[in-house]
Structure 1
Amino acid sequence: MVAIRFCRIAIFLCAFAPNRFPTHRPAMAADISKIRNIGIIAHIDAGKTTVTERMLYLSGAKHRVGRVDHGTTDTDDDPEEQERGITIFSACVKYAWGDYNVNLLDTPGHVDFTAEVERCLRVLDGAVVVFSAREGVEAQSETVWRQADRYEVPRIVFINKMDREGASFETVFNDIGPRLGGRPVAVELPVGEGPAHVDNPFRGVIDLVDMKLLQFDPETEGKQVTETDLPDELADDAAIWREQMLEAVYEISEDAMSLAMEDKEVPRDVILAALRKGCLDRTIQPVFCGSALHGIGVQPLMTGVGNFLPSPLDRPAVEGHDPKKPDKTLSRNPDPKEPFCGLVFKILPAKTGDNYWIRIYSGELKQNSRVQCPNRDKKENVAQIWQIHATKKDRDGQVDSVGAGDICCVIGPRFAITGDTVCDTKELIELPSIKFAETVLSMAIEPESTADRKKLEETLDMLRRQDPTFRAVDNEEIGQTIISGMGELHLEVIQHRLTRDFGLNVKFYKPRVNYRETIGGSAELVGQCNRVVGSTQMFARLKVKISPTDNPSDPVIVFDRLPPDVGLPNAVRSAAIDEIRDRAEGGGMIAGFPLSGVRIDVMDAEMAEEGSDEVAFRIAAGDAFESGLQAAGPVLLEPVMRVEVTTPEDYMGEIVGDLQQRRAIIASTESRGAMTVITAHAPLKEMFGYSGAVRSLSQGRAGSSMEPYGYQAAPKEDADSFQY
């Protein structure tokens, strides 16, 4: 009887479930207009992976919801991720929702792994930005938002964790504009806020487009949605928020404005079309809310992905250049009939052949074909094509071909690296690569025995292919390898992988800061070569002006300002300029750290009738470079971090005092509910172990996050500690 009764209830619920929250359908043949390539981006612990898991479950792509705290999620499948409860590596999953086929990339939230976000946003068409309703807009939220701005990625917003203590939809909503430069437009409103024990707990959402109350059945973990008319006690508040939404719609849609001026109701399809247009134009960001952990509000979010985020057809044609004629701009439309073109955005090394993740921008990629990698000037084999599930090939996902607008895994290439283009062998194009931030922290390592040395070299080479922000350079003088990464956690993860995953016996030394060098002033001088080699008198003089740029983080720039009548042959002229550029790449005068923030103008030259060849001018250029750096005053630069600490006010004094002892400059303090947020700029050297220190100062109640902020002059004693 119980079973029969349960079945009747299930049939009743299914019969009345609104069809705009569709059940799972198997993926059909690819219709580019129905493809959605999206990323989930957010600050750490905002709930990205939980949102992803819930989407997979609700779409039918998996039959049980994974939990981050249980280590059972599909996308956090690495032991390090499961142990720490955070996302470290971006993962790709596919699901179908209604008519849409979605490629979803779950990305890390920790700043040390921001390169994973960078490479994903480079190839995505849209993004879902997740905020915690309790913590709101946090430091890494700003970072990922700026990254999305840089790649002009349209986005929608999901305010998660509405069932948590201290949750505030309105506070987060109101922060998005001033802190991120966005324009949020609420399309949903929470019913209540906070956990079950508060007076007005979170228990559903109001759909502001249809003015309906949506409630999500906990017995089916959010699969069954009940839609009812708004009760009177919710109607007035909902009407105010709906009017705000319609104001945005009127600005976007002339049809909606005309109807409003005639006091006519704006139809649902007109509202949705206007919101979609505003989202695609990046003038607004539709805002949803819910609790991914309990499946509340995730189905409308999934429908919002299809309604508001772009298909590949909605994005501009990709542009690149002709590898044989770099000044010639080429473009490719998302059309399977155009020549094939794609971008390698991730490589996962494997014994059976590295897995190359590729975004297809145009044409069609077929199995057992040949493509060109113009960056390496090499032809590549495409032996196999797979769909991707998490960080692995989908077990049942091998396919014969993949068309424009899709994302796939390819086995066969050997030469391409992350950011390289692959294209038709007869229709070459080279797309812009992916730029990653410079490493800020290094650590010396060495194998315990000579037997481990070769295996260590092979493993480090594999890790370099996988992670473009990881560096490993051999120092033959001390017999060690210097590995570099984006922060303490990044290096710690590398350390664990070397010892645990690859079974290497390796010694690890203390991390050290990656300094840079620049100059403190300007200088103008002449470098020269005046020496006898054998029976030949070599002669060259080169006048240069060296000066600092406005930003000490800028790369070194060299300008050829030689007057037309100077009379230098082109080969000699190029040799002098190339020598200065080569010297600049070799580092500064203090300790050979990378040089930055320097401008060098080559102003004049003098040559003799004999002996003024390329070698002579290279010597003169080297002399001018070294003398110029010394005369301009070498300056050691240390990396500075932007630190954000969220703490109860009771501990604010101790935390500010500790930051000041670490040479931090307090940039701002602000109240967010019961918490105080301190933003400071602090030297990285002083911030080792800070996350543990701030927890100790606050009895575990404060949290912190850091991201690179820039460079500043290091203390004199730090510069003096290095040998000139």
Structure 2
Amino acid sequence: MGIVAHVDAGKTSLTERLLYAAGVIDRVGRVDDGNTQTDSMDLERKRGITIRSAVVSFELGDLTVNLIDTPGHSDFIAEVERALSVLDGAVLVISAVEGVQVQTRLLMRTLTRLRIPTCLFVNKIDRVGARYDELLADIARLLTPAAVPMGSVSDLGTRGAVFGPFGLPRKALGELLAERNDGFLARYLDDGLSADDYAAELRRQVAAAQVHPVYFGSAMTGVGIADLIGGIRSWLPRATALPSEALQARVFKVERASAGQKVASARVFAGSLSARAYVDVHPAAGPSYQARPTAVELFERGSRRTVERAEAGQIVALRGLKDIRIGDQLGVPAPGAGRLFAPPTLETVVGARDRVKLFQALTQLAEQDPLIRVRKADDITVSLYGEVQKEVIASLLESEYGLAVSFSETTPIHIERLAGVGAAHREMGAPDNLWAAGVGFRVSPVAEGIDYRLEVELGGLPRAFHTAIEETVRQTLHQGLYGWEIPNCRIDLTHTAYSSVGTSAADFRRLVPLVLMQAIAFAGTTVLEPLNHFELDIPPDSVSRVLSLLADSRGLVTTTTLDQDRAHLEGTIPAATTHPFEAHLPGQTHGEGILTPTFTTYHPVPGTPPARSRTDGNPLNQKQYLLHLNQA
């Protein structure tokens, strides 16, 4: 189960309260005091926010819950993505005071799209300004019309606030369930339903992510927590896979232990996983391989213990997998286990006195967060979701590596798209070929992904050479003609040659970039910039000012809805101008504007295409490329 929410809605406090109710801890920690179980980083305790997902396991009666406390700040959406990839169900926390916020809407859209069974928990009912009827209306309007309140609140907004649960056979619940099941509707109209019938249908529709129960309470005082626990036990579906099935597991977190070795957290969906037994590892990108975990640690009752074997439904920490990455699958790969959120579209230059140590440190951090890609060209850059990540990276580099760093202004990450079809090849022994290998490629545009194909016989070349060619092809595509990645491309290997005596895999690794980049040059590329879709709620009297600001930001409005209290605009805006627009929005809307940007696509950059400094020595210039190889 995952706990997700907008920052400061009370996710970590709710986790503490659940651990206390399960008897795992004997006192409830406070985020403000920095003594919670799941916020372990110094910066998490200092700022009172969750940055890295934390796992804790506990018992609620006969139900074992593996709970993942996720970040709420939009800059750490990648951490939320990893949690969602392994969930059976979720609790979405909403503040009764602040209500439905930007990140709340993004998370609910994602949970709905992925059909993850979700209960809603409205926290902070004891705070001044807490709302009930108005908040339920906002939930129906902004999140989902299928939210069903499971009780009412008395003394709302006071220390004495109390949640009182409803009984199941009631008109509002019956009508909501009947809308989604004709058989239930017929029996509902005949008045032939018992409380058990209501419960069974509610359980079925929650499991299908059609309906979402809403509970109210306070994580600080414990009010409503028992009712939420009852809802978790009653409505969220339990894992049903068996240990006797084929192993199916997914890595959602990688960190380093005190001695520097990797520790990978993984959900075992089916089958079993044993220490010191070989398993098939399927990376998110690249060929599969076999590896053997030296130790398996089971999350249990708030801690971890070493076990010989883990089974379906459990979450484990694996040691000894030195090449493991976040997103890797173990055993039998699950279909459709792709990325849930868009990759980061921003980057910044990181500076420090010791560049060698800085690059090594950032490379280790990137192992824990694969969406923070590190590049070393003239400068060292890292990719980002937002400005708060700079503070996190700076804090980690200082606390874990003793490095003081500075950052440049954040800029957008562009990509390149092939403009046509191109081909090139070099024969072994040709005057312009310095290596004992020959290779040829044809490249062409595709809608999505890297499609690598063979037009040569697989057995005509040793497998190690084929592996070297494919790995180098994928690496070369990280930098197109202008230095930006080419993420969507079909590559056909059309020609190979080698000597059984003198050729090595290194010959192909050095030759492939020259030939592939020549084929790309013949095809040509177009530079694209990231484009965000936005939803914007503003006061009606600020529409003209905001439209002018959008025009200056190269924004395009596609939908406008006006009523007496608000104006709702939707459209697109380049990622490059999104943050400046957001910074100026409060001044144009009396501080009431709410912007929800989400990455949607890429589109061609107007004017001169921006170029990026290269890290590969520029294979299109053979003399410069050879100098780069010699220096390397």
Equivalent residue of 1:380, what SS? coil
Equivalent residue of 1:156, what SS? strand
Q: Report the counterpart of residue 324 of structure 1 in structure 2.
A: none
Tell me if 1:657 matches 2:548: yes
Tell me if 1:158 matches 2:139: no
Q: Report the counterpart of residue 685 of structure 1 in structure 2.
A: 576
Distance 1:588 1:720, change over 3 A: closer
Instruction: Tell me, yes or no, if the aligned pair for 2:5 and 2:72 is still in contact at 8 Å.
Output: yes
Q: 2:430 aligns with which of 528, 533, 548?
A: 533
Distance 1:48 1:187, change over 3 A: same
Tell me if 1:512 matches 2:411: yes
Q: 1:300 aligns with which of 214, 227, 232?
A: 227
Q: Matches of 2:100 and 2:475 in 1, distance apart?
A: 40
Tell me if 1:440 matches 2:345: yes
Q: 2:137 aligns with which of 171, 191, 198?
A: 171
Q: What per-residue deviation string (whole Å, max 9, x for no partner) do you get for residues 659-678 of structure 1?
A: 33222223445579956554
Q: Matches of 2:531 and 2:156 in 1, distance apart?
A: 37
Gaps of 5+ in 2: 283-288, 498-502, 615-619, 621-632
Q: How does 1:194-233 map to 2 (within 5 A)?
A: 195=157, 204-209=163-168
Equivalent residue of 2:210, what SS? coil
Distance 1:53 1:515, change over 3 A: same
The amino acid across from 1:349 in the alignment is R
Distance 1:262 1:570, change over 3 A: same
Q: Report the counterpart of residue 375 of structure 2 in structure 1.
A: 473
Instruction: Tell me, yes or no, if the aligned pair for 1:183 and 1:285 is still in contact at 8 Å.
Output: no
Q: Matches of 1:465 and 1:486 in 2, distance apart?
A: 17
Q: Tell me by how many angstroms 1:298 deviates.
A: 3.0
Tell me if 1:485 matches 2:384: yes
Q: Tell me by how many angstroms 1:359 deviates.
A: 1.6
Q: Tell me by how many angstroms 1:447 deviates.
A: 3.2
Q: Matches of 2:203 and 2:50 in 1, distance apart?
A: 30
Q: How does 1:80-91 map to 2 (within 5 A)?
A: 80-91=43-54
Q: Matches of 1:473 and 1:96 in 2, distance apart?
A: 44
Deviates more, 1:49-58 or 1:509-518: 49-58
Q: How many residue pairs align between the two structures?
A: 589
Equivalent residue of 1:719, what SS? coil
Tell me if 1:379 matches 2:308: no
Q: Matches of 1:644 and 1:280 in 2, distance apart?
A: 29
Equivalent residue of 2:395, what SS? helix
Q: 2:255 aligns with which of 315, 333, 348?
A: 348
Q: Matches of 1:339 and 1:619 in 2, distance apart?
A: 40
Q: How does 1:257-406 map to 2 (within 5 A)?
A: 258=187, 260=188, 263-264=191-192, 266-313=193-240, 333-335=241-243, 337-338=244-245, 342-352=249-259, 353-365=261-273, 369-375=276-282, 376-382=289-295, 384-387=297-300, 389=302, 393=303, 402-406=310-314
Q: Percent identity over the alignment?
A: 25
Equivalent residue of 2:610, what SS? helix
Q: Matches of 2:130 and 2:306 in 1, distance apart?
A: 45
Distance 1:715 1:578, change over 3 A: same
Q: Matches of 2:519 and 2:401 in 1, distance apart?
A: 44
Q: Report the counterpart of residue 414 of structure 1 in structure 2.
A: 322
Q: Report the counterpart of residue 175 of structure 2 in structure 1.
A: 244
Distance 1:399 1:587, change over 3 A: closer
Instruction: Tell me, yes or no, if the aligned pair for 1:140 and 1:707 is still in contact at 8 Å.
Output: no
Q: Report the counterpart of residue 6 of structure 2 in structure 1.
A: 43
Equivalent residue of 1:357, what SS? strand
Q: Report the counterpart of residue 710 of structure 1 in structure 2.
A: 601
Q: Indicate the RMSD between aligned Cα atoms, in angstroms.
A: 4.6
Instruction: Tell me, yes or no, if the aligned pair for 2:55 and 2:299 is still in contact at 8 Å.
Output: no
Equivalent residue of 1:716, what SS? coil
Equivalent residue of 2:397, what SS? helix
Q: Tell me by how many angstroms 1:594 deviates.
A: 0.7
Equivalent residue of 1:62, what SS? coil
**What is the TM-score when the length of structure 2 is the normalising length?**
0.77
Q: Report the counterpart of residue 610 of structure 1 in structure 2.
A: none
**What is the TM-score when the length of structure 1 is the normalising length?**
0.68
Instruction: Tell me, yes or no, if the aligned pair for 1:86 and 1:108 is still in contact at 8 Å.
Output: yes
Q: Matches of 1:173 and 1:623 in 2, distance apart?
A: 52
